[in-house]
Amino acid sequence: MKYTKLCIKVSGGLTKPQKSLLEAKLRSLPDVVSAYINDQGILQVACMTSKSAGLVVKYLKAFRISPRENVPGNAELKEEISKNMNGLLTSAVSLAGLELVKRISPAAFCGMYAARSALVLIISRNFLMSGLKSLFTDLRPNADTLTATAVVASVLGGRPESSLTIIMLSNAAELLTVYTAEKTRSHISRMLKLDQQMAWKIDAEGREVKVPVESLQIGDSVCVHTGEKISVDGRVTEGKASVDQSSITGEYMPVEKTNDDVVYAGTIVKSGFLRILVEKVGDQTALSRIVHLVEEAHTRKAPVQSFADKISTMLVPLSFVTAGLVYGVTKDWQRVLNMLFIDYSCGLKLSTSTAISAAIGRAASRGVLIKGGNYVESLSNIDTVVLDKTGTITAGRPVVVEVETTGDANEQEVLLLAAAAEYHSTHPLATAILSRVKEAGWQIPPHDSTETIVGRGIKAYLPQTEAIEGGLVLVGSSAFMNESKVSNEIFQTIEAKHREQGRNVVYVARKGQVLGVLAISDPIRPKMKKSINKLRRLGIDEVVMLTGDSKKVAMQTASNLGIDSYQAEVMPQDKALLVARMQRGSQVMMIGDGINDAPALAFADVGVAMGGSRTDVAVEAADITINVDDPLSVPETLSLAKQTMGIIRQNFAATITINTAAILLGAMGKINPLVSALIHNMATIGVVLNSTRILIKGNSR
């Protein structure tokens, strides 16, 4: 399906609450797929029909905002590429043509001064308008102001064609930068489109069936459970839940949702259960994620980008001052042009933004989504890595290896009770239980309601059936049983035996009585030890493991992998506190995959969601999402961040050294304006090319 996209510059007068309200209101309009205001003040609205685009335009009049133009999907970057390519070719052809005329007929060339000046002014009109706007409207002269001044000065000095070199090479540098950004965007879009969205649909018989979001229709009913993302816009018909709506409203406090409340695609059920009547369908969620995440990645600047912008802004007026001083001392117009043709801002800004964009693009081509340039820089400074155990260190595909029961229930009944309670859980141990039941070919009994006790287990009320006796069922850890006043002494020896073998033990109780335990083994991921060793070689000082498992299981895992330290039997809120404690004097990266890890991921300097069973909560809380099931992606991404920052430092040194040397030579009259322009612009292109090699070196998996 093709979408109509409105690209809108939002007035600086809108406050943050007003922007959030505007986004939410636009999303509520019919056939509006997404609406998002990025940090640069650009509102992008994607609509399914031209009629809905008209409604958006009409609504925006209340905010006194006018769309710049309607463009399809990803056309802005392609438009920039086309504009820069046209500028490059036009200036190159004009420069070659004028040089040819000069060689064939010098007299005719001299007589064409007015024509040459007009041609140069026409070709450089974009730079002239941008430079004048930044000077007189924004009151902040930039590199375009310097270029515009150089063009005018070259015309007044009788050598208008000399500025064509600046225009040509500036367009070449901009072309490289925009091309890198376009490649990055395509990598991210392709990666996100591979992540198929699924939903729990209520079928005609009242059963919950997992189906692709694209198959849902208006009027269908879907269920959403703890830790899952709501995939549709709709209205609650049953249940109660705490919902994180920050992606829609900007409000980070979860909102209670109950019967007849409206819910939106992209929001997350933090706890509870909802049955939702679908009111909007289509590709909303997929497109919204692509637009939102890509724009976030490009607008979240790294500190080094902000530093480059600040330095560049400061150095532009300095170039004017230097030109004035040179003219005052020498009265040589050619030396003045030398000062105007050389500036630091292009090389610093373009190369830095290109390097960050290339790093994000290369990571995306490897199946890793970095949500912003600031995380690239933060990642390069990491010295401590904290790993969750289940689903991150381990494969996240555990299997039930043994079932121990009492005389009150047999193995099948214990497994069915556990499977019924865990049916909607995304925890890897729940997956193991469900897989065991499905392999046996047994029908999983229904449940009336469930409650997830984070870090402990699940409570479920099961109805009476032919296969099982119903009632309140508890499935979880030994600590969960103790806190629920359920005696589990009968299995203490058996639990100790399995713990010594590095297995997880899950208790199953009904009506306050333990019926059995499940021994579940989750092998360590292949390449995990190699990944940890590579992290150490990249400068990581300490590797820490956090887990809710027992001390014996944690100790054995840490010993096998050579992990420096571990914390066992940790509650989710304690993970966040431990990460915060480690941040005193250290830069911490937290790697996790589940609901339990979300607070710690949010607290860490860099949060990474990794693992095939990672939940939507973890993905939203993380700064980096790894979509490939390979532990080596972690050191690869860390190495990429360090390489990127190294290249940025190289670019800073090269830009400052080359341009400073050129300014000194130009001030002394050792070089002419044409050579000055060549040195400056070739240096800019050189550092931009140095940045683009980050993207070129990356090969897609």
Q: CA nearest 293: which of 363, 345, 238?
A: 363
pLDDT at position 183 over 70: yes
pLDDT at position 160 over 50: yes
pLDDT at position 607 over 50: yes
**CA atoms within a 13 Å half-sphere pointing along the CA-CB vector of 562:** 10
188-211 mean pLDDT? 74
Segment 659-684, tens digit of pLDDT: 999 999 999 989 988 888 889 888 98
Out of 5-14, 31-40, 158-167, 559-568, pick the least confident: 5-14
Q: Is 59 helix (H, G, I), strand (E, B) or coil?
A: helix
> Which is it for the CA torsion 624, 629, 632, 636, positive or negative?
negative
- Facing residues of 347 across strands? none
Pairing of strands 268-280, 221-225: antiparallel
Q: Residue 15 has what pLDDT?
A: 64
- Structure tokens that stand for 580 in this block: 């915060």
Structure-model confidence comparison of residues 311 and 348, the more confident one = 348
Q: Residue 595 has what pLDDT?
A: 59
At 548, the amino acid letter reads G
Q: Residue 191 has what pLDDT?
A: 59
Segment 324-355, tens digit of pLDDT: 898 898 888 888 888 888 888 888 888 888 89
Give CA–CA dist 679/337, Å, rounded: 13
8 A C-beta contact, residue 582 and residue 544: yes
Segment 389-410, tens digit of pLDDT: 877 888 767 889 999 998 888 9
Q: Band the pLDDT of 436: cuts 50, 70, 90.
A: very high
Structure-model confidence comparison of residues 487 and 179, the more confident one = 487
434-456 mean pLDDT? 86
- Structure tokens that stand for 156 in this block: 């007044």
8 A C-beta contact, residue 510 and residue 473: yes
Q: Residue 297 has what pLDDT?
A: 52
- The neighbour count for residue 660, using CB atoms within 10 Å, is 12
Torsion-angle region of 2 (φ positive above 0: left; ψ -120 to 50: alpha; else: beta) = beta
Q: Where are the beta strands (DSSP E) in 371-421?
A: 384-388, 399-405
Alpha-carbon distances, residue 344 vs 139, 321, 672 (angstroms):
19, 14, 18
Mean pLDDT score of the chain, rounded to an integer? 81
Query: What's the distance, Cα to Cα, between the start and end of the chain in Å?
Result: 28
> Which positions are annotated as active-site residues?
388
Q: Band the pLDDT of 207: cuts 50, 70, 90.
A: confident
Q: Residue 290 has what pLDDT?
A: 46
Structure-model confidence comparison of residues 192 and 645, the more confident one = 645
Torsion-angle region of 428 (φ positive above 0: left; ψ -120 to 50: alpha; else: beta) = alpha
Residue with tokens 């006043």: 485
pLDDT at position 636 over 70: yes
pLDDT at position 23 over 90: no
Give me the domains of the chain, ranges plus CATH numbers: 4-73 (3.30.70.100), 78-185+296-357+642-697 (no CATH), 217-281 (2.70.150.10), 368-394+524-626 (3.40.50.1000), 399-521 (3.40.1110.10)
- The neighbour count for residue 40, using CB atoms within 10 Å, is 11
- Classify residue 21 as exposed, middle or buried by CB count within 10 Å of its CB (0-12, 13-18, 19+): middle
545-574 mean pLDDT? 85
Q: Residue 701 has what pLDDT?
A: 46
Q: Residue 296 has what pLDDT?
A: 54
**CA atoms within a 13 Å half-sphere pointing along the CA-CB vector of 6:** 29
Segment 63-115, tens digit of pLDDT: 555 444 433 345 566 777 788 888 888 988 988 888 888 888 888 888 888 89
Q: CA nearest 650: which of 351, 331, 210, 243?
A: 351
Out of 43-47, 448-452, 466-470, 669-673, pick the least confident: 43-47
Share of the chain above pLDDT 90, in %: 23
pLDDT at position 510 over 90: yes
Out of 94-108, 280-294, 586-600, 658-672, pick the least confident: 280-294
